[in-house]
Chain A
Amino acid sequence: MAVDMNMNVLIVDDYTTMLRIIKNLLKQLGFNNIDEATDGTMALEKVKSKSYGLVISDWNMEPMTGFEFLKKVRTSDQAFKTVPFIMITAESKTENVIAAKQAGVNNYIVKPFNAETLKTKISAVLGEF
């Protein structure tokens, strides 16, 4: 099934430069509707209020980390619990990947990354586009 490039995408990072970079990359890839959040709390509010086709989140944020956000999404009883979720983080230890996977992450990108890696991982989660 073709990827709907008009789907809502939520990107979450406390570093605004990184938000800007990811947003630009996603636009280059053809995604048109991109929302931003700067921590897990704000992101959780957004997924509760709007339907997203993809969430891309950093891990290390305050007050709510991306890991906590992921766990809250996956343990929710609401429709957003199955939203495709990609973690983009500098946390590159084996135990982090395992913990994220066990919490229900769909893919994991370690920073720094490039547009090709982002496209590959999104394709792996959503299908080729």
Chain B
Amino acid sequence: MSEASLNETSDNKKERIVSIISSVIDKVGKNEQVSLSGILTELRDLLIVIEETRRDMGLARPSDITGKHIPGATDELDAIVEATSEATGTIMDCCDVILEKAGAVGGDDGDTISAEVMKIFEACSFQDVTGQRVSKVVKTFHDIEEKIDKLVSVLGVKVSGLPEEEDIRSDDEKLLNGPQLADQAISQDDIDKLMAELDGVAEE
């Protein structure tokens, strides 16, 4: 179900719920001769609307959001922090070596080299800020995940047994997945072997 049609359906349902409840309140308020069956009919209508809402929420795949999309996004963010941290570490290791050599150079040149290396160190502080910002985003994702889980639980939304969502991307687009997480990627060695195997196949 598309988001637009889901919103439209949701608006219709809200109107129906309000209409049913207003009708019941109106009848009871006016102290009309209200039959029990009349009230039951209204309440059954209300139940149907609530059931439809639960079903529609299930079709919106809240389990995909909490089980796939949010964990996927947070894994990618964790990988960013890890990669930038590793790179920053390497930069700083190199700076340490340069600083050591700058000491051996000595004089004005040595001082200049040391000062420039210090600027690199300062620039590397981006890693700390980046890591903290990413951590905040990850926490927000976890909060959203929790709230969706609670909502699904409270409404008793049925989330299992739905077919897999169809991947409508073109064949070329399906090959655009960006950097892989470590457990999903193949190594340069594996790539070299694969290239060699494919070369062998081409030659046969």
Question: CB distance B176 to A60 under 8 Å?
Answer: yes
B31 at the interface (CB under 8 A from A): no
Shortest Cβ distance from A90 into B: residue:
B179
Measured in the bound complex, the distance between the Cα atoms of B191 and A96 in whole Å is 10
Docked-complex contact A98 and B194, CB < 8 angstroms:
yes
Query: B107 near A: Cβ within 8 Å?
Result: no
Q: Are A101 and B188 in contact (CB under 8 A)?
A: no
Q: Contacts A93-B186, A109-B188 hold; do A98 and B198 have CB atoms under 8 A apart?
A: yes
B146-204 contacts to A, CB under 8 A, are 172, 175-180, 184-188, 190-191, 194-195, 198
Taking a contact as CB atoms closer than 8 A, the residue among A95, A101, A110, A117 that contacts B175 in the complex is A95
- Consensus secondary structure, chain A interface: mixed
What's the interface size class on A, roughly?
Answer: 20 to 34
In the bound complex, how far is the Cα of B180 from the Cα of A65, in angstroms? 18
Q: Is the CB of A93 within 8 A of B194?
A: no
Q: How many residues of B contact A (CB 8 A)?
A: 19
> Given A98-B194, A101-B198, A107-B195: A93 and B176 within 8 A (CB)?
no
Contact of A101 among B172, B179, B180, B195 (CB under 8 A): B195
**A94 contacts partner chain B, Cβ-Cβ < 8 Å:** yes
**B188 in contact with A117 (CB, 8 Å):** yes
* B2, chain A: closest CB distance, angstroms: 26
Are A110's CB and B177's CB within 8 A? no
Q: Are A90 and B194 in contact (CB under 8 A)?
A: no
Against B, the Cβ 8 Å flags (1 = close, 0 = not) of A51-74 are: 000000001100001011000000
Chain A to chain B contacts (Cβ below 8 Å), 19 pairs: A60-B178, A65-B172, A65-B176, A67-B172, A68-B172, A90-B178, A90-B179, A92-B179, A93-B180, A93-B185, A94-B190, A97-B191, A98-B194, A98-B198, A110-B185, A110-B187, A110-B191, A111-B179, A117-B188
